[in-house]
Chains A and B, each alone.
Chain A
Amino acid sequence: MRLRITSEHIKGDIIKRVEDLSGQSLLECYQCGKCSAGCPVVNEMDVIPSEVIRLLQLGQADEALDSKTIWICASCLQCASKCPKGVEFSSICDALRQIVLRKRLSTPRMDADEVSAIMVSDAPQMGVVGALRKLNG
């Protein structure tokens, strides 16, 4: 696979939007991968956290927005806590989710009527509320 890198992509609106929404500076990431090394759900991700940041550094916003990764993140904050450069992947991930959810770029990851009956009757409310807020917007 070949990536076409252009200055237009690198300085693209969505990249800027991700930086603004997340409050993170993408170029501060030096790709050590410590975020990925400590991520508890990295096994399920198609693109690991440090690679998501790399895609954004290269201006490939669409690939980042299309990744399964952003819906798998559980916001445990290990990545942000471990980063030697103070870059919070968890915030970048939230920003990417928000861009998708606000623009309805795809159907929401989760709808209220999808929450299983057992969850509604059994799970702590905080879990249901949390999931809907993170994954539905």
Chain B
Amino acid sequence: MKIPYYPGCTLHERALDFDVSARECAKTLGVELEELPIWTCCGAVFPLVTDSVMEILAPVRNLAYASREGDKLVTLCSFCYHVLKRANRTIRTDPEKAEKANLFLRADTEAREEIESYTREDYTGQVEVIHFLEMLRDLVGYEAVAKKVRRKLKDLRVAPYYGCMLLRPKKEMEFDDPEQPSIFEEFLETLGCDVVDFPMKTECCGGFQIVSDEDLAIACSRNVVSSAIKRGADVIVTTCPLCRYNLDKKQEEMAKEVRGFRKIPVIYFTQLLGIALGIDGEHIDFTDNYVDPRPVLAEKSLL
């Protein structure tokens, strides 16, 4: 099975560990992630004001590119997923904005011949944006994933962290129950993990505020990390590079503030999947992690 794939800027550079592990996992599961031949940044945040047209052009442009490659588009980063899915919905439900956005796309085509074939026709919202987790559940099937598991992770206590962007707003994301979601837990159970239910799994990590108000964001991250530690997790898994950054790298600051702070590794769910599928170590890279997961993984005989 081949499926168009949108990595997004962060996975293209800072979160290569996320991108590489995901591609390798997909391959093992018989899915070829075909990176869009041409793509740009999605804009990173979805505009919440009603007069936004410029602000949705980037995601719509990417969706228009994707429409030439297939009827689905897989993403991994929570922010990309959120922005692409909501921009797609805007095109589907707001004819006025759709028309304006398409006018801009046509201007693109005139300006740059090489993208002509990608924006020849109006984009009407025909692409279905799906998250890698949804792809595993709905296209590959958790049962098929379970059959490919080589290493059972039953001794590993894993806390699934959803964050904000996958779940909210419910009516637009239609991803899972925003209060008691289960897709991540079901995924981890498929891998045979000891799933740790922790109450802060849908609370905010501080998001982009890490750039402008670090203390504020760290307070948010600490709330999440402490909750998972308190519930006895060995590791937190996430779907988002910004969450990973805030929860993992900022443990240095958390440790300075809280005496006796026990650190906990934060890894991408695709890295954990890779371990379960028995994928080669070179595709599961932990060198960018502030809190090294290898000791705990070694302790559980998972390396």
Contacts and interface: CB of A to CB of B under 8 A. Distances in A.
Q: Do A's and B's CB atoms come within 8 Å in the complex?
A: yes
State the majority secondary structure of interface residues on A: helix
Given A81-B169, A125-B10, A130 B45 contact: yes
A113 B51 CA distance: 28
B288 to A, nearest CB: 10
A94 B49 contact: yes
A44 B45 contact: no
A134 B242 CA distance: 16
A28 interface: no
Given A126-B44, A126-B77, A74 B49 contact: no
B204 interface: yes
A122 interface: yes
Interface string A88-127: 1011011100100000000001100001000100111111
A125 B208 CA distance: 10
Contacts of B47: 94
Q: How large is the interface on B (under 10, 10 to 19, 20 to 34, 35 or more residues)?
A: 35 or more
B164 A77 contact: yes
Contact of A76 (B9, B49, B204): B204
A131 interface: yes
Interface in A37-51: 40-41, 43-44
B216 A41 contact: yes
A40 B8 CA distance: 27
A75 interface: yes
Most buried by A among B9, B48, B164, B223: B48
Interface stretch (A8-16, A17-25, A56-64): A17-25
B204 A115 contact: no
B181 to A, nearest CB: 12
Interface of B: 8-10, 13-15, 41, 43-45, 47-51, 55, 77, 79-80, 164, 167-170, 178, 203-204, 206-213, 216-217, 219-220, 223, 241-242, 244-245, 249
Interface of A: 20-23, 40-41, 43-44, 71-72, 74-78, 80-81, 88, 90-91, 93-95, 98, 109-110, 115, 119, 122-135
